[in-house]
Structure 1
Amino acid sequence: MRKISLFIASSLDGYIARESGEIDWLFTDQDYGYSEFIAEVDTLIMGHKTYQQVLGFGEYPYSEQEVFVLSRHLQGKTENNAIFINDDWANFMTNLRQSSGGVIWLVGGGQTIHYFLQHNLIDEIILSIHPIILGSGIPLIIKDSNIATKLELRNVKSYDSGLVQVTYNVKS
């Protein structure tokens, strides 16, 4: 069965973006393990808002991977070959996990992460905590007592920049 990994950055106070969706506070001085991670990934899953944000980065960065965008309304395939999935996401993910391939990267955003936690679809979390307090924004984890999830610490790595990267296995 393929592994689903949430590889994501957050502020110290748990936000993945400003309220506007901006991520201008993320460190870009080095890749913080991204190159090693993406080398194992052949499939990406993201929500529609995250996909729209990715399109704003300039050149589309995921042309080498299969990309699925979870959306309640959009259908079909985009010019970047991203495929919109708009019904029965849990069944789709079960089938995708059972197919052959590499790591499945859950890119985000907050609502998509919440859905995956609700349905126990995340196998590992690689969280890069940036040494900044935003005070408000889009939360990494939406408050919901029904998504209590146990984690097992696998690794902690600190960088000179103050960023700390924590890797957890999600216990089922």
Structure 2
Amino acid sequence: MDSKCSVFIAASVDGFIAKKDGDIEWLNRPEYECSALNGLTYDEFMTTVDALVMGRKTLEKVLSFPDWPYEKTPVVVLSQAQVSIPAKLQSKVEVMAGDPALIVAQLAGRGLKHLYIDGGQTIQNFLAAGLINEITITRIPVLLGRGIPLFSQLGDELELRLIDSSTSDNGFVQSRYQVVV
């Protein structure tokens, strides 16, 4: 396949990407601030991405942020239902529905070869379809106890090969994996 699908995400040590209500404020605690994060930074990762593919719930969360964080990156929102896109983002956000492999092929046909896959359910759907090539997980030093899991019932075992692992002074542990096919 000419396309590459990558995951770049933070999770609690117990594997949650958000609290049950979708809250992610626990990611922004002052004690997590540090002068340098080791490993692959978000900004470095984004320079390699042609488009971001996310689910509707992830879009709803991002729309609650003070600013739109993807100014230079096309965003594709996957949803079977009607999605309301604010007028100022109409040219930056596209809604698509369908099989993940078909979506990847359609985007590749437009020259969008490296896709950033984001959002719990979207990541799981793309993993189940065998489309994820690389996963970067930054473990945040907190146990949430319950919430929205990064991985739930994938169905099949997936073998991963460690590409890199790094730690930062604030306790973040980042691991980058290649999905072995």
The TM-score, its normalising length taken from structure 1, stands at 0.90
Structure 1 residues 84, 164: closer, same or farther in 2, change over 3 A?
same
Matching residue's letter, 2:58 = T
1:25 lines up with 2:33 in the alignment: no
Q: Does the Cα contact within 8 Å between 1:2 and 1:100 map onto a contact in 2?
A: no
Distance of 2:105 and 2:51 partners within structure 1? 14
3-state SS, counterpart of residue 41 of structure 1: coil
User: Which position in structure 2 is the counterpart of 1:164?
Assistant: 173
Q: Does the Cα contact within 8 Å between 2:100 and 2:129 map onto a contact in 1?
A: no
Which of residues 115, 120, 123 is equivalent to 1:113?
Answer: 123
User: Which position in structure 2 is the counterpart of 1:35?
Assistant: 43
Q: Does the Cα contact within 8 Å between 1:3 and 1:97 map onto a contact in 2?
A: no
Runs of 4+ in 1 over 6 A off after TM superposition: none
User: Which position in structure 2 is the counterpart of 1:50?
Assistant: 58
User: Which position in structure 1 is the counterpart of 2:11?
Assistant: 10
Deviation string for 1:48-106 (max 9, x for gaps)? 00001000001111121111001011269653131111233331113324552452111
Q: Does the Cα contact within 8 Å between 1:42 and 1:64 map onto a contact in 2?
A: no
Structure 1 residues 102, 89: closer, same or farther in 2, change over 3 A?
closer
3-state SS, counterpart of residue 107 of structure 2: helix
1:124 lines up with 2:124 in the alignment: no
Q: Does the Cα contact within 8 Å between 1:127 and 1:166 map onto a contact in 2?
A: yes
Matching residue's letter, 2:102 = N
Flag structure 2 segments of 5+ consecutive residues without an equivalent: none
% same residue: 36
After superposition, the CA RMSD in angstroms is 1.9
The TM-score, its normalising length taken from structure 2, stands at 0.86
Distance of 2:20 and 2:44 partners within structure 1? 30
Q: Does the Cα contact within 8 Å between 2:79 and 2:95 map onto a contact in 1?
A: yes
Distance of 2:22 and 2:138 partners within structure 1? 18
User: Which position in structure 2 is the counterpart of 1:103?
Assistant: 114
Aligned positions, number: 170
Greater shift in the superposed pair: 129-138 or 146-155: 146-155
Matching residue's letter, 2:25 = D
